[in-house]
Amino acid sequence: MIGKEILDKYQMTVGIECHVQLATNTKLFSGADNDERDKSPNTVVSPIDFGLPGMLPVLNRGAVDLAIKAGKALNSPIEHISRFDRKHYFYPDLPKGYQTTQMYQPIIGPGEIDIPMDDGESFKVRINHAHMEEDAGKLTHHGNYSLVDLNRAGTPLLEIVTEPDIHSSAQAKAFVIELYRLMTYAGVTRGDLYHGNMRFDVNTSAALKSSNELGIRSEVKNLNSFRSVERAIEFEFYRQVELLEKGEIIVQETRGWDESKQRTTSQRNKEDSQDYRYMPDADIPPIVLSNEEIELIQSSVPQLPPFYRESWKILNLDSTVINALIASQSTAQLIQRILEKSGTATAARRVAIWLLMAVEGQTDDSGIVQNTGIHATDDHLIELSNMVEKNELSSTAAKEIFYEMNRRPAVAPRDIAIEKNLIQVSDETEIFNIVDSVLDDPAFKKAVMDLENGNEKVIGFLVGQVMKKSQGKANPALVQKLIKERLKI
Amino acid sequence: MTISEVLTKIKDTSARAVVENSLKLAKENEEYHALLSLTAERALKRADGVDSGKISGKLAGVPFVVKDNFLAFGAPTTAASKILENFNAPLQATAVEKLEAEGAICIGKANLDAFAHGGSTENSAFGPTSNAFDKTRVAGGSSGGSAVVTALGVVPFALGSDTGGSIRQPASFNGVVGVKTSYGAVSRYGVVAMASSTDVIGCFATNVSDAEFITEIITGRDKNDMTTLPDFFEVQANSKTNQKIGLVKDFMTNDVDPEVREKVNEYVEKLKSAGHSVEEVSLPMAEYALAIYYIIVPAELCSNLARYDGIRYGRRAEGVTTLAELYGKTRDQGFVTENKRRIMIGSYVLSSGFFDAYYLQAQKARTLLIDEFNKLFETYDILIGPTAPTPAFKLGENTAEPIKMYLNDIMTVPTSLAGLPAISVPAGKNQAGLPIGVQLMGPMKSDAKIFALAKSMENK
């Protein structure tokens, strides 16, 4: 066992490569359906994806547009000229004997993104570049034979490559979550992690903090959940520190993640690494983009998480709360609309807290909100907030109405409040009469005397009696104020 | 027979009679081994379609042949290789589709060097094609079969592909017109790829007008081939007078067969008497063209041949136990020696550590060659020279010496690397009765201009 004090001697360094499947209708170079989910094997494959003789790629402009949008989300520049290259290797899931990728001139150049942590701090991760490429098919192994499914072959990918700027598994997790949000917010990917819409390769190394050099890295490939990214990095760091402590040498290698055993296993080391014989792909002319074209496409990108974090500073919410709300794009957009339409931070803050309850119940293990269940209209939410503001509703009553509004979005909150008899009585004369009747009630005479004699605790009991008599509609703060006024204390 | 003569014959008899006659001629000339397969059933059905009026167009009923690296219905598309021996295409090449849309009828598929690797059609996995004028000599290549069927009059025209001279050189060897179009003029969709950056589609015909007519039909932008150019081809009825023509002296050295030079000089004299001026010009980079070509083309073809792995279609080796063995044996059995030689060269020049020294350096030299052509075309309308250094050589004469075989491409490769249009037209025969071709080369997209000049010189 390696203790914490030993682990602390070492610096962890992590760089991440993320393959994002682009949410185009058709594949990168063919007209075949790009949504392979729940399709029978080899049913969404065109002659181009199949690698028939004489077939030529036809670049899907939709994929280029999504890459341009991704560039905005990654805060990284779009290159005015980018090209495709061929990466050669033989494998049955690779129909042409090469993968069409962008080796020499990728579409997205170097940039930097800010990654927020839950404690409110943030750190920067530099993007080395991001390039477009096609996905390969899949093999399934059956005893002494294997089957090829090319449904996924030719699916457009954007591979995002970071610099080694990550130094803890928590940072890594925060990075992949933020990347997920950026890519889904910008509409670049469908974001279905279960179906491999985003897959991560993590490069981890360990070195003594006293050393200036990076350690030898291992690469764990094909992680498809935030949790597995975090766990694989932790495992690799521990494994490498253990070896280093024993005086052993780390070998540069590719490792796989065993989800059931929660550990990595060696797949191949550097000596087995292939020569991919990269060469320019002469079948695809360069992608040439003007500034105007890039701006036009990027102008359709919706607001991204950093915008909301900035905009919501006036809401005075915890960073954990903000991160939880940003987990759902529709929720973030809703809060922003409330802020803009109502013009008040209090309304937006109030709505944000209601939404938080809704979102928290719908967030899965990986921090992804599947369905918020919010159906209430913006105007109704503002109205609900106003009713609380005017003391017409207690916060408990507002919550109840909020839930009901999502079940019956056509009904106004006031109508629900009336129907459920939840309107607070804030009319002073009406409450004054109830207060009078309670204070004059012989049954409470002792309590009134105790209060007059300075026993402040009793006031709660008296407020409770007034509330009871008003059937819960009286505003408790107002009741307390009126009792004090009447007794002149 | 010209296309218009064939059309007249169809009118006088029937498309079926014409197609049957073509098929009969194909059988009678089997000994040349110009065709790998006949598409008789489909051809006759289409002929009946023409006769019943269901199929119409500018070429209604006119029979033609395609090189067997074009995907076409009615017979397997083998690329003259064992690996695709039984491959039946599920779709047709754009060029074939365009001809069929005009009513033309494909009657068979022509022999070639396997995967178009070669200049004699001797590299066909199914045996060589003989020259139309001397059965002991080569057809030229790689589109040898297409040239020979045109020369023998089996069909009035045929399609081929030209990567470094594969249409022009066999045209020259068999006394027919052969057209290498501008790169991107004709869609490559559905043609088994050799080298993506120099492959072009073109035709063989017995005269320039027919070649021009077919070129007009098959050219044009194709949404299935991103490298096709926007439509530009427009037939020119008359050739410009007083053109400035450059005779490429680097192609007229003493290494070139004297009778070839003599025929080119005769053509030059005819150009002069027609009022054009001809001057000797120099293309110094031509010396490096073969070296550039035999780096870039193997690199591209080894990539394009990677898909023939025995996994999804085509021949797969029997009795293998591992994946590596499956790939190795399948490709060993499926490719001919020349394919393997070029795959090895290509893999070598692309391998890490050699890429910059070979591939990148060759691309830079290629740019210099293109610059030289551009410079010449600032002054000259057209360049002229022989198509090949010799007339057709003997079968087997060069098979043991690949370099000698490659040298045959020396005059056709420069335009291929530059993407320029060039045509080979018959310029007479040597004393032994072997045809000799002269090559006319023009700037990018000048295809129609070259045709116009060649037309004006025909029969002069």
The reply to whether B166 falls in a domain is yes
Q: Diameter of chain A by CA atoms?
A: 101
pLDDT in tens, A44-82: 999 999 999 999 999 999 999 999 999 999 999 999 999
Q: Does B354 touch chain A (CB under 8 A)?
A: no
Note whether B307 contacts A88, CB cutoff 8 Å. Answer: no
pLDDT in tens, A134-147: 999 999 999 989 99
Relative to beta strand B177-180, strand A138-142 is unpaired
Residue A271 has what pLDDT? 63
Domain that holds residue B65: 3-218
Contact criterion met (CB below 8 Å) for B158 and B65 = yes
Residue A365 has what pLDDT? 65
Contact criterion met (CB below 8 Å) for B185 and B421 = yes
Contact criterion met (CB below 8 Å) for A400 and A419 = no
Amino acid identity of residue A336, one-letter, is: Q
Q: Does B97 touch chain A (CB under 8 A)?
A: no
In this structure, what token pair is assigned to residue B98?
């365009």
The model's confidence at residue A2, banded by pLDDT at 50, 70 and 90, is: confident
- Alpha carbon distance, N-terminus to C-terminus of chain B: 19
Are A286 and A365 found together in one domain?
Answer: no
Mean pLDDT of A112-131: 95
B142 carries an active-site annotation: yes
Q: Which of A266, A293, A320 lies at the terminal end of a domain, its last residue? A: A293
Residue B437, phi then psi, degrees to nearest 5: -110, 150
Domain count, chain A: 3
| CATH number where B135 lies | 3.90.1300.10
Amino acid identity of residue B448, one-letter, is: A
Contact criterion met (CB below 8 Å) for B420 and B443 = yes
Contact criterion met (CB below 8 Å) for B300 and B195 = yes
Indicate the Cα dihedral angle B200, B202, B204, B210, nearest 10°.
Answer: -160
pTM of the model: 0.93
Are A260 and A164 found together in one domain?
Answer: yes
The reply to whether B231 falls in a domain is no
Find chain B residues with C-beta within 8 A of A282's C-beta.
Answer: 195-197, 227, 300
Are A79 and A41 found together in one domain?
Answer: yes
Nearest CB to B307 within list A51, A57, A58: A51
User: In a structure prediction context, what are the per-residue pLDDT tens digits for chain B, which is 460 residues long?
Assistant: 899 999 999 999 999 999 999 999 999 999 999 999 999 999 999 999 999 999 999 999 999 999 999 999 999 999 999 999 999 999 999 999 999 999 999 999 999 999 999 999 999 999 999 999 999 999 999 999 999 999 999 999 999 999 999 999 999 999 999 999 999 999 999 999 999 999 999 999 999 999 999 999 999 999 999 999 999 999 999 999 999 999 999 999 999 999 999 999 999 999 999 999 999 999 999 999 999 999 999 999 999 999 999 999 999 999 999 999 999 999 999 999 999 999 999 999 999 999 999 999 999 999 999 999 999 999 999 999 999 999 999 999 988 888 878 888 999 999 999 999 999 999 999 999 999 999 999 999 999 999 999 999 998 7
Q: Indicate which residue of B166, B182, B446, B456 is catalytic.
A: B166
Nearest CA-CA distance, residue A59 and chain B, Å: 8
Tell me how many helices (H) and strands (E) chain A has: 17, 15
Residue A270 has what pLDDT? 66
Are A348 and A237 found together in one domain?
Answer: no
Are A157 and A253 found together in one domain?
Answer: yes
Query: What is the spatial distance between Cα A35 and Cα A23, in angstroms, rounded to a whole number?
Result: 8
Note whether A51 contacts B312, CB cutoff 8 Å. Answer: yes
Are A120 and A224 found together in one domain?
Answer: yes
Query: What is the spatial distance between Cα B456 and Cα B86, in angstroms, rounded to a whole number?
Result: 45
Q: Which of A372, A397, A419 lies at the terminal end of a domain, its last residue? A: A419
The reply to whether B248 falls in a domain is no
Amino acid identity of residue B451, one-letter, is: F
Note whether B306 contacts A90, CB cutoff 8 Å. Answer: yes
Q: Indicate which residue of B81, B130, B142, B182 is catalytic.
A: B142
Mean pLDDT of A78-89: 98
Residue A468 has what pLDDT? 85
The reply to whether B348 falls in a domain is no
Amino acid identity of residue B353, one-letter, is: G
Q: Which of A419, A442, A461 lies at the terminal end of a domain, its last residue? A: A419
Cβ partners under 8 Å of residue A113, min gap 6: A74, A75, A124, A125, A127, A178, A179, A182
- Mean pLDDT (chain A) is 93
Find chain B residues with C-beta within 8 A of A59's C-beta.
Answer: 226
Q: Position of tokens 């780390």?
A: A250
Are A196 and A278 found together in one domain?
Answer: yes
pLDDT in tens, A404-419: 999 999 999 999 999 9
Q: Diameter of chain B by CA atoms?
A: 71
In this structure, what token pair is assigned to residue A161?
């490559």
Domain count, chain B: 1
Which residue, among A106, A79, A69, has the nearest Cα to A184 in the 3D structure? Answer: A69
B67 carries an active-site annotation: yes
The model's confidence at residue A366, banded by pLDDT at 50, 70 and 90, is: low
Note whether A285 contacts B227, CB cutoff 8 Å. Answer: yes
Are A200 and A337 found together in one domain?
Answer: no
Mean pLDDT of A478-487: 86
Q: Position of tokens 């427009």?
A: B234
Q: Does B366 touch chain A (CB under 8 A)?
A: no
Mean pLDDT of A216-226: 95
CA of A273: which chain B residue's CA is closest? B352
Interface size A-B, in CB pairs within 8 Å, comes to: 101
Query: What is the spatial distance between Cα A249 and Cα A252, in angstroms, rounded to a whole number?
Result: 10
Are A84 and A231 found together in one domain?
Answer: yes
CA of A280: which chain B residue's CA is closest? B300
B394 carries an active-site annotation: no
Are A287 and A309 found together in one domain?
Answer: no
Nearest CA-CA distance, residue A54 and chain B, Å: 4
Number of C-beta neighbours around residue A295 at 10 A:
12
Interface subset of B 383-412, CB within 8 angstroms of A: none
The model's confidence at residue A367, banded by pLDDT at 50, 70 and 90, is: low
Interface subset of B 38-67, CB within 8 angstroms of A: none
**pLDDT value at A473 more than 80:** no
Residue B294 has what pLDDT? 96
Are A316 and A373 found together in one domain?
Answer: yes
**pLDDT value at A363 more than 80:** no
Are A289 and A195 found together in one domain?
Answer: yes
The reply to whether B144 falls in a domain is yes
Least confident of A17-26, A224-233, A371-380: A371-380
Q: Looking at this predicted complex, what is its ipTM?
A: 0.96
The model's confidence at residue A36, banded by pLDDT at 50, 70 and 90, is: confident
Which residue, among B6, B23, B60, has the nearest Cα to B217 in the 3D structure? Answer: B60
The reply to whether B15 falls in a domain is yes
In this structure, what token pair is assigned to residue B106?
């494909």
Indicate the Cα dihedral angle B85, B88, B94, B95, nearest 10°.
Answer: 50
Cβ partners under 8 Å of residue A293, min gap 6: none
Nearest CB to A97 within list B77, B191, B307: B307
The model's confidence at residue A396, banded by pLDDT at 50, 70 and 90, is: confident
Chain A residue set in contact with B, beta carbons under 8 Å: 47, 50-59, 86, 88, 90, 92, 95-98, 148, 275-279, 281-285
The model's confidence at residue A426, banded by pLDDT at 50, 70 and 90, is: low
Interface subset of B 193-252, CB within 8 angstroms of A: 193, 195-197, 223-227
Domain that holds residue A75: 4-293
Bridge partners of A221, per DSSP, are A256
